[in-house]
Amino acid sequence: MKLNELDTVCIVGLGLLGGSVGMAVNRALGRVRRVGYSHRAVTRRRAVELGTVDMVCADLADAVGRAQFVILAVPVGTFPDLMRQMAEYLPDHCIVTDVGSTKALPARWARKFLPARVEFLGSHPMAGSEQRGVEFARDDLFDGANCIVTPTARTSRATLRFVGDFWRTLGMRVSHLGPAEHDRVLARISHLPHVLATALVNCSDEQQIALCGKGFLDTTRIASGPPGVWRDILMTNTTNSAAAIGRLIKELTRLQKALHTGNEKAIMRMLETAQKKRNNLVAEKLKRRELPG
Amino acid sequence: MKLNELDTVCIVGLGLLGGSVGMAVNRALGRVRRVGYSHRAVTRRRAVELGTVDMVCADLADAVGRAQFVILAVPVGTFPDLMRQMAEYLPDHCIVTDVGSTKALPARWARKFLPARVEFLGSHPMAGSEQRGVEFARDDLFDGANCIVTPTARTSRATLRFVGDFWRTLGMRVSHLGPAEHDRVLARISHLPHVLATALVNCSDEQQIALCGKGFLDTTRIASGPPGVWRDILMTNTTNSAAAIGRLIKELTRLQKALHTGNEKAIMRMLETAQKKRNNLVAEKLKRRELPG
């Protein structure tokens, strides 16, 4: 299937991400029919009121039954159940993707629970916020952000092109990583920052943090993210996340040691390295227009 | 001295903070004469052009010679030299404060290097950004932010009131902590986040972080801060900072262990605790108008 042949997309889960996919599809691919599924009646109603989808179904079989492209936008922990439930109703040659933050387990679940007549290819659109729910959905959530698509040896070229074209049309920069490699990298650049923000809040005393400034608030912003979503992310990427924590502890121990021994030069070197590295990162992101100038 | 008796203030150091103090004084206390000092000619010129002070001196003795109130707005590491240099030129009954981020060592240096005929009382206005230099000075930098004033047993009531009134007039919320207690608390809520952001950047691989999203960027924002300033902060608060790192490592180790053993409930509890605690903090800051609504 080519993107211009897409007639009906089904979005399973109508939270911030699912709702935003629907709105972005409407903006970029207005002719495509958008069917939404949510198990909550109030979400189904709001999703239609807000224009995130054209119609909603309370029944998963109805929702996916006529879609050529199904997007799972629910917490990763619910994938096995949903995949089992939808398996027999998916049309032949249907393409299934997801927007979850870990990719190795979902790929394994897809092989196990989805029929061979459909093709699964994982996606990780790296957009979102600490906010949650369809109320926060926006049609520009994906503009300029990265999307990592995670092909395996089984992925067909046509599907790889279709899914990549889909996200690019929604405004994203698309790159490819295998599911296992994706999870290793994301443990470092996404799951570790979350764990870190959580640990920083938890090791602080409420009376003390009341005095904090902007630095503490920014460093811990992501700790306000939904615990259920992050539990799922961490629990589906335990080994890599634990290894990333280990590497961070090593780095912190180096800093601690330099403080204990009053090694001013070592401290300065670590501060300078981090500043330079982060400034390069920001410059690169600005150049690629991933950040507002 | 009462605040309405203040005639001339001297700002030693005309960077982001010193320049902003000058502009905020102009806004709030327009009648007060502002004398600035910087050892760099280009900074002196820009400071006047930008209206941060009324006049500048290249000579520290000239700058402080007629001031009733002197504000050190230079890196903490330069305090001993500057205090020694200005000591004999400070007028009788002059009040000296600073805007440094650590308070125990500066208080000790003041006792050692400043004459008994002046009074030193440390201040820590918790405002700023990762930007640096007089070009970024703003008259509203202090609006709604916290300022911790750090009296000792020697501090007179009059001086405590004067310095508190000064920062309040510039738009800050003022609280009091002893210098040692300040450094313990700030190690947790300010120096630790900086160390953490630095460690997170340093333990990441450049190619990998190129894929990062907004979470990583926010969590590491402060790592772009000036290394020299942060080296001084950490080197003047080594014991507390090392202890704070130790506490964080403990918390990270708990998370790591929960991941290793697949203890989903423990992970969920830690994520929920952090989310709740941070949301309470943000709600409290909004209520006190320390954050834009």
pLDDT digits (tens, 9 = 90+) for A63-97: 999 999 999 999 898 999 999 999 999 999 999 99
pLDDT digits (tens, 9 = 90+) for B209-259: 998 888 899 999 999 998 998 999 999 999 999 999 999 999 999 999 999
Tell me which DSSP letter residue A6 carries.
Answer: -
How is domain A3-177 classified at the CATH fold level? Rossmann fold (3.40.50)
Residues of A in contact with B247 (CB under 8 A): 203
Q: What percentage of chain B reaches a pLDDT higher than 70?
A: 99
pLDDT at position B16: 94
Q: Which residue has the higher pLDDT, A293 or A41?
A: A41
Architecture of the domain whose range is A182-262: Orthogonal Bundle (1.10)
Tell me the mean pLDDT in the region A116-123. Answer: 98
> CB B275 to CB A224 under 8 A?
yes
Instruction: Report B:104-163 residues touching A (Cβ under 8 A).
Output: 126-129, 145-146, 148
Residue A129 has pLDDT above 90, yes or no: no
A234: helix, coil or strand? helix
Residue B59, chain A, CB below 8 Å: the answer is no
Residue A109 has pLDDT above 70, yes or no: yes
Tokens of A239: 């080994």
Tell me which DSSP letter residue B91 carries.
Answer: P
Tokens of B100: 């440094």
Across chain A, what does the average pLDDT equal? 95
Residues of B in contact with A219 (CB under 8 A): 193, 196-197, 218-222
Q: Which candidate from B190, B211, B218 shows the least CB-CB separation from A213?
A: B190
B227-235 vs A264-287: helix crossing angle, rounded to 10: 150
Tell me the mean pLDDT in the region A163-186. Answer: 97
Are B107 and B120 in contact by the 8 Å Cβ rule? The answer is yes
Are A185 and B211 in contact by the 8 Å Cβ rule? The answer is yes
Q: Which residue has the higher pLDDT, A149 or B215?
A: A149
pLDDT digits (tens, 9 = 90+) for B83-93: 999 999 999 99
Predicted-complex ipTM score: 0.85
Q: Which candidate from A201, A230, A264 shows the least CB-CB separation from B278?
A: A201
Band (pLDDT 50/70/90 cuts) for residue B291 is confident
Where are the domain boundaries for CATH 1.10.3660.10 in chain A? Answer: 182-262
Task: Decide: pTM greater than 0.80.
Answer: yes
Q: Among all residues of chain A, which has the CA nearest to that of B228? A: A268
Band (pLDDT 50/70/90 cuts) for residue B130 is low
Listed in sequence order, the residues at least 6 apart from B201 whose beta carbon sits closer than 8 Å to its beta carbon are: A273, A274, A277, A278, B209, B220, B223
Are A189 and B240 in contact by the 8 Å Cβ rule? The answer is no
Size of interface A-B (CB pairs under 8 A): 270
- Best mutation target among B177, B216, B263, B290 (most A Cβ atoms within 10 Å) is B216
pLDDT at position B213: 86
Are A18 and A52 in contact by the 8 Å Cβ rule? The answer is yes
pLDDT digits (tens, 9 = 90+) for B160-173: 999 999 999 999 99
Bridge partners, A97 (sequence order): A71
Of the candidates A190, A175, A171, A188, the residue with the CA atom closest to the CA atom of residue A289: A171
Residue B25 has pLDDT above 90, yes or no: yes
> CB A203 to CB B256 under 8 A?
no
pLDDT at position A132: 80
The residue assigned the tokens 């979350």 is: A194
Across chain B, what does the average pLDDT equal? 95
Rounded to a whole number, what is the distance in Å from the CA of A80 to chain B's nearest CA?
17
Instruction: Report B:183-212 residues touching A (Cβ under 8 A).
Output: 185, 188-190, 192-206, 208-212
Residue B290 has pLDDT above 90, yes or no: no
Band (pLDDT 50/70/90 cuts) for residue B43 is very high
Residue A289 has pLDDT above 80, yes or no: no
Q: Which candidate from A199, A204, A217 shows the least CB-CB separation from B255?
A: A199
Q: Among all residues of chain A, which has the CA nearest to that of B263? A: A235
Strands B8-12 and B69-72, by their bridges, are parallel
Q: Among all residues of chain B, which has the CA nearest to that of A247? A: B203
Of the candidates A163, A138, A140, the residue with the CA atom closest to the CA atom of residue A150: A163
- Best mutation target among A102, A194, A207, A248 (most B Cβ atoms within 10 Å) is A248
> CB A224 to CB B278 under 8 A?
yes
A150: helix, coil or strand? strand
Q: Which candidate from A220, A242, A275 shows the least CB-CB separation from B227?
A: A275
pLDDT at position A205: 87
Tell me the mean pLDDT in the region B192-208. Answer: 93
> CB B275 to CB A127 under 8 A?
no
DSSP A277-291: HHHHHHHHHHHTTSS
Q: Among all residues of chain B, which has the CA nearest to that of A202? A: B274
Tell me the mean pLDDT in the region B77-81. Answer: 94
Band (pLDDT 50/70/90 cuts) for residue A217 is very high
Q: Which residue has the higher pLDDT, A175 or A128?
A: A175
Tokens of A39: 């198990």
Tokens of A264: 């001013």
Residue B23 has pLDDT above 80, yes or no: yes
Listed in sequence order, the residues at least 6 apart from A210 whose beta carbon sits closer than 8 Å to its beta carbon are: B281, B284
Tally of CB atoms within 10 A around A81: 12
Residue B6 CB burial class (10 angstroms; 0-12, 13-18, ≥19): buried
Where are the domain boundaries for CATH 3.40.50.720 in chain A? Answer: 3-177
